Amino acid sequence: MNHFADRVIEFNQSLKLDAELPAGIRVMNPFRENPEAVRVSSAFYHKFYNDNDQRRLILAINPGRFGAGVTGIPFTDTKRLTENCGLHINDVSTHEPSSVFVYQVIEAYGGVEKFYRDFYINSICPLGFVRENSKGREVNYNYYDSKELQEIVLPFAVKSIRAYIDAGCKTDVCFCMGTGKNYKVLQQINREHAFFDRIIPLEHPRYVVQYKSAFTNDYISKYLKAFGR
C-alpha cells in the first residue's frame, strides 16, 4: 500500500533542479549527493509517516547546510536526528541552531510522534543553495537572495507545493516560516494557484535563535497557539 511516507520518499529521490543558476551559486541535493541522506531520511519517513493520515503543511525557505542539507529531513541536524528521532546517520556530525528551536517546539507540542502525525515540514524550495564567501567558504544562500534565482526557482516551487498536497497535506491552512520575503513569495504563489485557504506566518527559527533568543519561550508559545495547542 502506498503511504504518505512512500510519496515523500519518491518525491525526494526525484528532486532535480534543471536550470542554469546565477554565477557563484551551487544547488545542494543530498538525495543525489549522499546515499546516507537517502537511507536515513527514508527511515525517518517510514517511522513517522507510514500511514495515509492527512497533515498540515509548514513551509520554510530552503534547506540549510547542516540540517536537511545533510540528513534530508527539514530542520533536523544529526544531533536531533539521534536524540529526538532515534535514528543515526554515519560519518557526519552537524549542529543547526534552527533545528534546536524547531525541536523545542516539537517537544512542547507533545513530542515527535504526535507532532509528525499532525504536521509535515518542507520548504517553498525543497533544495538548498550555497555560495562562496570572501574567505572561500561555502555559506547558505536563500532562493530569494537574488531576483534572478527567485525567478528560476518559482516554477520548481509551485511544482513542489503541489507535490506536498498530493502526498497528503491539508489545504485549509499553511504555516509559513518567515514573516518577510518568504511569506511574500508564498502569498504571491497562492494568489496565482489558490493552494491554501489561508497562510499563517511565523517567525523563522533562524531569526528567533539569532536575534530573539532571550524570548525563545514566547516564540514557542506563538507557534503552539498557531498550531491550536
* Cα gap 178→225, rounded to integer Å: 17
86 pLDDT band, cuts 50/70/90, is: very high
pLDDT digits (tens, 9 = 90+) for 59-68: 999 998 889 9
* Whether this model's pTM surpasses 0.75: yes
Instruction: Return the higher-pLDDT residue of 66 and 73.
Output: 73
pLDDT digits (tens, 9 = 90+) for 35-45: 999 999 999 99
**Quick one: average pLDDT of 170-198?**
98
Q: What pLDDT score was predicted for residue 1?
A: 63
- Which CATH code for domain 4-226? 3.40.470.10
Q: What pLDDT score was predicted for residue 147?
A: 95
Angle at CA 113, nearest 5°, toward 203 and 165? 60
Domain ranges of the chain: 4-226
What's the chain's average pLDDT? Answer: 96
Residues constituting the chain: 229
Convert 98-130 to b/e letters by CB count within 10 Å (16 or more is b): bbbbbbbbbebbeebeebbebbbbbbbbbbbbb
Q: What pLDDT score was predicted for residue 127?
A: 97
- What's the count of helices (H) and strands (E) in the chain, helices before strands? 11, 7
